[in-house]
Amino acid sequence: MMYPVKPVRTLMGRLDHDADLLEALTHICREERIQLGRIEALGAVKKAALGYYDQEKKLYRSFEIDRQLEILNLVGNISLKEGEPFVHAHVTLGDDEGRSYGGHLIAGTPIFACEAIIQVYEGPALRREVEPVTGLPLWVTLN
């Protein structure tokens, strides 16, 4: 089911060099008390930690790419998980030969340079609960 939301505020800025990408985005959301939103970013990272959800085993597998990469696209959303703002983001990264890599952003991705936009929404509060069919923490409404 889709829910009506309304954009109410936009934050734009640069994230700190050497900060962990996922942790930096999550910190901003917690500091700004953002419970519902959308994230976009671009820039570069020193290395990457990504995840891939194994649908048969119903668990995330993680992998690392230990070299500098460009953030070609980062898109994500903000909702609540266990009562706290939670960033769910996917990222596409490129190397110096034009190859692309992608996956679920996890902690362990140090920033070289990053510019981010966070669109804050007003609407039904969404929280994550494990959905039995997929095993994933998916959205349900609070109200």
Contact present, 49 and 106 (Cβ < 8 Å)? yes
pLDDT at 143: 60
Q: What is the pLDDT of residues 43-94, one digit of tens each?
A: 999 999 999 999 999 999 999 999 999 999 999 999 999 999 999 999 999 9
* pLDDT tens, position by position, 112-121: 999 999 999 9
- For 110, list phi and psi in degrees, rounded to 5: -75, 135
The rounded distance, in Å, linking the Cα atoms of 75 and 111 is 16
Average pLDDT, the chain: 96
Residue 136 pLDDT > 80, yes or no? yes
Distance between CA atoms of residues 75 and 87, nearest Å: 10
> Count of CB atoms within 10 A of residue 81's CB?
14
pLDDT of residue 117: 98
Q: Among 30, 42, 48, which residue's Cα sits nearest to residue 76? A: 42
The rounded distance, in Å, linking the Cα atoms of 85 and 32 is 10
Burial class (CB in 10 A: 0-12, 13-18, 19+), 24: buried
Tokens at 86, concatenated:
């939670």
The pLDDT of residue 3: 86
Whether the pLDDT of residue 142 is over 70: the answer is: no
Lowest mean pLDDT among 2-6, 29-33, 37-41, 119-123: 2-6
Model pLDDT, residue 125: 84
All structural domains of the chain with their residue ranges: 6-141
* This prediction's pTM: 0.94
Task: Give the fold, CATH level 3, of 6-141.
Answer: 60s Ribosomal Protein L30; Chain: A; (3.30.1330)
